[in-house]
Amino acid sequence: MSSMPRALVTGATSGLGREMARQLGGRGWRVAITGRREAELAETARRVESAGGECLPLVGSVTEPEVVRRHYAVIREKWGGLDWAILNAGVGDSVDARKLVAETYHRVFATNVGGAVNWLEAVLPGMIEAGSGTVAGISSLAASRGLPGAGAYSASKAALSTLLESTRVDLLGTGVDVVIVCPGFIRNGSGSPDEDKGKPFLMELEDGVRHILAGIDRKKRVVHFPWQLSYLMRYVVHNLPDSAYDWLISKAAGRRPK
């Protein structure tokens, strides 16, 4: 049986998830990947294996508890468990509270929070029994405050961060580490000027993933970057008085505060 570390990456059909899986493959790791789109997941698996890793693609949604349980059963049968679980699957929609659609919020929370809870339920008993393991959840600097047009996304990432913080405290002394990852803007798409507009301190995908994996390697409680944006959001914007925040964010969003 291989002695190489075993990692799970959810939401690995593109972007951050695909690149995290590829870079872990470059370390020679065994990487289980999940996602809803079979063809895209197969492409990620090909990249993991081309980089030198072993890959186990598992097609399905993190929002379905029975699917998650089945996926973890396959991992346990094949590899005996996991050393890392990177809970990356997430969605985000631009929503304006003046045109609020509840279903959008439910859908975002079902993936960004519910999907993480489903996988926590699956992986934690085995890690606790083994007395070791690392769970990392991909949150966002958007969790720091409620951003305009991003109520569902900001709230879901704030919920994920708080969930993981509580989980970390509950697991103290078990040998299981919990890492909260709060990146800023990372280029995930085509890199077109329109797509990149309004994203300060935008990082290239490969660099962003290197920061994430380095932080998980060090078992940092919270991984936040790039420093220019993270310190601004976490230590300045987060602590602004509400009236000052409303005025500032309204100006930034081009809205007139009343």
Per-residue pLDDT, 257: 47
Q: Which residues pair with 176 in a beta bridge?
A: 133
For residue 180, what are the CA distances in angstroms to 78, 120, 170, 216, 252? 28, 14, 15, 9, 27
Per-residue pLDDT, 192: 60
Catalytic residue among 153, 231, 235, 245: 153
DSSP state of 166: H
Active site residue 153: yes
| Amino acid identity at 225 | F
Per-residue pLDDT of the chain (258 residues; tens, 9 = 90+): 568 999 999 999 999 999 999 999 999 999 999 999 999 999 999 999 999 999 999 999 999 999 999 999 999 999 999 999 999 999 988 888 999 999 999 999 999 999 999 999 999 999 999 999 999 999 999 999 988 888 999 999 999 999 999 999 999 999 999 999 999 999 986 556 667 777 888 999 999 999 999 999 999 999 999 999 988 998 898 899 999 989 988 887 766 545
**Strands (DSSP E) along the chain, which ranges?**
6-9, 30-35, 54-59, 84-87, 133-138, 176-183, 222-225
Domains for the chain: give ranges and CATH numbers: 6-232 (3.40.50.720)
